[in-house]
């Protein structure tokens, strides 16, 4: 599928858009210069369900799984979610601040949500990601770099890089060397 970013709305088209309430205005939309790659699966290490969508909509049923009781109260989102089959769902316009990074720091700057785009991969730290996820992520990163000139290849990082000691995703299963090789 061929995607493009609509400049006025900050939406990735023709991706599905399900707006998350967990967002707010960025301090400066011209300051976007970082992509943060995450992983998520709900319940942990289970794929293909609707729980991630519900989680980003504040509609996760805490009684549906024991783990959900621990997280259902959290208010989080990401700009994009890439499923195992490569399908993309956008939850927050790139113009807005998604709540994906939490307490974070990169290159001496704290509060990475202010200046980053968060992309969640449907996955887990120790389960290999799919080839279509890597190629879809690569295509999206290229589009984002074209739209936000301050994003360079060295400013595409994992959640673990900006919240070390607190976060581990996208984990050891994410093949950074392979992913970076797709840009050549």
Domain residue limits, the chain: 4-181
What does R_g of the chain's alpha carbons equal in angstroms? Answer: 15
CATH class of the structural domain 4-181:
alpha beta
CB atoms within 10 A of CB 155: 18
Give per-residue pLDDT as tens, 62-102: 999 999 999 999 999 999 999 999 999 999 999 999 999 99
Low-confidence ranges of the chain (pLDDT < 50): none
Kindly name the residue from 16, 19, 70, 120 that is annotated as catalytic: 120
120 is catalytic: yes
| pTM for the model | 0.97
């Amino acid at each position: 599928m061929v995607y493009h970013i609509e400049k006025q709305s900050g939406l990735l088209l023709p991706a599905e858009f399900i707006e998350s309430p967990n967002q707010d205005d960025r301090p400066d939309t011209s300051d976007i210069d970082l992509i943060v790659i995450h992983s998520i699966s709900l319940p942990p290490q289970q794929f293909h369900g609707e729980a991630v969508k519900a989680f980003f909509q504040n509609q996760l049923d805490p009684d549906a799984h024991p783990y959900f009781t621990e997280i259902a109260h959290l208010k989080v989102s990401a700009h994009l979610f890439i499923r195992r089959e490569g399908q993309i769902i956008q939850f927050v316009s790139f113009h807005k601040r998604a709540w994906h990074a939490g307490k974070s720091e990169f290159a001496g700057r704290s509060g990475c949500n202010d200046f980053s785009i968060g992309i969640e991969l449907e996955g887990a730290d120790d389960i290999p990601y799919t080839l279509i996820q890597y190629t879809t992520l690569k295509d999206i990163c290229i589009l984002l770099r074209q739209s936000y000139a301050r994003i360079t290849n060295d400013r595409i990082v994992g959640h673990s890089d900006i919240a070390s000691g607190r976060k581990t995703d996208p984990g050891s299963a994410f093949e950074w060397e392979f992913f970076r090789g797709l840009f050549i």
